[in-house]
Amino acid sequence: MTDRAGDRKDGHRFSEGGGFDDPYDEFDLDPPELDVDPSKVDPVDSRVLADVLDERQRSDLAVDAGELLDVGLNYMQINRFEQATETFERAAQFAEDDHRKQEAWVNKGVAHAELEEWDEAIGAHREALAIDDSSEHAATAETNLAYALWEFGETAQALEHAERAVGIDERFPQAWYNRAFFLHERGLNEDALQCIDNAIRLGMRNEGVLEEKVRILEELGEYEEAEEIAEEAEEMRERTEQRIVEEERKQLGE
């Protein structure tokens, strides 16, 4: 894998989009369809999926791609990203319809991104787009592809794919946010401000987004507005930290 060309001028990490929903309502690494005996194997063992779903041991008809997707998402939930990539690849292999196959490739790309395997992430999202470049998953694939390309050093292509994501789904806030980030990095701050405002209007209002808007406003010389939004971002961050502390106390029974 080649190194990313140049370092970003700040440590900001923009949105990766969403290849899967959060939170996960169900958590089960041992769905009955996989027929794993928990008394014999650790259901979280990284070797279980490969053993159970090996093509030499099971026919394609015996594997439910939907169940594989669920298992992959469960692996993502516990940060077992290598296992997730393998599971999503199998889901794509066994999926009988393009919609589910595309979903599996998108999620595989997200898992590779979590491992900072940018070339593999790029490949997975390109596979998803090769299936259908205008479906509901296409905007997510384009957004995640843009993110991976940026990290891989392909900044010009990253902006191109961020723009494609917006063109596919104008209601996708992560696409607007990523486009704002790329435009800001290129010094196109007026256009970047419009994009970040679109992301916020579409519901993507968190500390990271507001801090990105602060940087854009400062580049435009709008210091008073930037200061107001910076204060809002700080207040939001403090509330988030307080909520985390309270949740930890509840878990500890304090």
How far is residue 161's CA from residue 57's CA, in Å, rounded to a whole number? 40
The CATH fold of domain 9-161: 1.25.40
Q: What angle do CA 193, 195, 198 make, to 5 degrees?
A: 110
Tokens 């998402």 found at: 73
How far is residue 122's CA from residue 239's CA, in Å, rounded to a whole number? 36
Q: What would you report as the CA-atom Rg of the chain, rounded to the nearest whole angstrom?
A: 20
How far is residue 237's CA from residue 228's CA, in Å, rounded to a whole number? 14
The answer to whether 9-161 and 170-254 have equal CATH topology is yes
The CATH fold of domain 170-254: 1.25.40
Q: Per residue of the chain (254 residues), what is the pLDDT tens digit?
A: 434 444 444 444 444 444 444 433 333 333 333 444 444 445 455 445 444 444 433 444 567 888 999 999 999 999 999 999 999 999 999 988 899 999 999 999 999 999 999 999 999 999 999 999 888 889 999 999 999 999 999 988 999 999 999 999 999 999 999 999 999 999 999 999 999 999 999 999 999 999 999 999 999 999 999 999 999 999 999 998 888 888 888 877 75
Domain ranges of the chain: 9-161, 170-254
